[in-house]
Amino acid sequence: MILGVLVMLGIVAFCSAGLVSSFSASSDDSGTDNGLLLASDADALATDLAKATAAQGICYGWDLSVDNAGTANHGVGSNEGAGKAVDESGCQRWVVFDVDVTWTPESSELADSETATLRSSGDLGDLPSIDELTDVGVTDKTLTDDPAGSTIAVLEALPLMLSERGAADPLPAATDDPTSTVSVPPEAGSDRWRANKAFAIMAIVLLLAAGGLVVWGVRRRRDTDDALPAAGPGTAPPHPRSGPPQARPRSGPPVPPPPADPWLRPPPPGPQPPHPLPPQPPQ
């Protein structure tokens, strides 16, 4: 029982380590552990910004930098496409959302930090302040925890915000079948734990299940030992009786006892004849 439980624990631990390591190996291709936009999200956002540019004559773009415990990551995009910065010299009117995030290691005493600004060509009037971005769900905390998702939220809302301020033409009415497929990336963080959170939780669940199996095995073993009769010190368990097998009782009517020996019968009642004396030798 115990040996089987130990083998099961080893298998679970091996599988858990494999899950976490395989996710770590593939996380570099996902684009979510570095804080930058996914390629699909960046393309969808650039498409939406291109529509706003065509309607308002304003170029929109983003400049996102994330320092993940000393590892620098940088990504840009605009209405011209993902990976293309705003052409400030070619656009008469433009606005860019700059975000700079620093993630510190979990062991560091320093907290994560961020700075975010909206800069423009100067002819768009007063731009929305960072505090006003709370209307679209963006705060200092969301910028730190999820810079990619916050960047998407600000850029998607910025053309409408400028239109409401009178700095840009109104946007055309949205159709019932939107073409934007922007998805907010999952929560990011400052270390490997946040990047591998899903697989780490799976590994913890597997280990907890293995621990429950160990407890169940130990309790079952104790219940089995308690069920055995208690024996005193030095008392050996009973052994089966040795020797020839005993005859089983015969079934059927009772058998009468055998007849008695006639020489052993008692004398009949009444006077008995004298017994002859044995002959005497001559004198």
pLDDT digits (tens, 9 = 90+) for 6-27: 555 566 555 555 554 444 444 4
Residue 254: partners with Cβ closer than 8 Å, 6 or more residues away: none
What pLDDT does residue 3 have?
53
DSSP string, 114-125: EEEEEEE-S-S-
What pLDDT does residue 172 have?
84
Q: Is 180 helix (H, G, I), strand (E, B) or coil?
A: coil
* CA atoms of 93 and 53, how far apart (whole Å): 10
Q: Place 254 in a pLDDT band, splitting at 50, 70 and 90.
A: low
Average pLDDT over residues 235-260: 60
Which tokens is 199 given? 């697989």
Average pLDDT over residues 232-259: 59
* Average pLDDT across the chain, whole number: 77
Burial class of 155 by CB neighbour count within 10 A (0 to 12, 13 to 18, 19+): buried
What pLDDT does residue 219 have?
79
* CA atoms of 75 and 66, how far apart (whole Å): 9
Average pLDDT over residues 38-67: 96
Which tokens is 207 given? 């280990």
Alpha helical stretches, state H, 120-165: 140-145, 147-164
Average pLDDT over residues 137-164: 95
What pLDDT does residue 211 have?
79
Say yes or no to pLDDT of 234 above 60.
Answer: no
Residue 127: partners with Cβ closer than 8 Å, 6 or more residues away: 95, 118, 120, 162
Most confident of the ranges 1-5, 37-41, 239-243, 268-272:
37-41
Rg, the chain, Cα only? 48
Q: CA triplet 165, 171, 177: central angle to 5 degrees?
A: 140
Q: Is 239 helix (H, G, I), strand (E, B) or coil?
A: coil
Average pLDDT over residues 255-264: 62
Percent share of the chain, pLDDT over 90:
39
What pLDDT does residue 12 have?
55
Phi/psi of residue 96, nearest 5 degrees: -130, 140
Tokens 């705060």 -> residue: 139
What pLDDT does residue 117 have?
94
Tell me the sheet residues that pair with 103. Answer: 68
pTM of whole model > 0.85?
Answer: no
Q: CA triplet 80, 82, 86: central angle to 5 degrees?
A: 45
CB 172, CB 55: distance < 8 Å: yes
Residue 196: partners with Cβ closer than 8 Å, 6 or more residues away: 20, 23, 24, 27, 33
Q: Place 33 in a pLDDT band, splitting at 50, 70 and 90.
A: confident
Q: Lowest-confidence range among 42-46, 80-84, 132-136, 199-203?
A: 199-203
Residue 130: partners with Cβ closer than 8 Å, 6 or more residues away: 116, 117, 138, 140
Average pLDDT over residues 55-63: 96
* CA atoms of 70 and 107, how far apart (whole Å): 13
* CA atoms of 98 and 63, how far apart (whole Å): 5
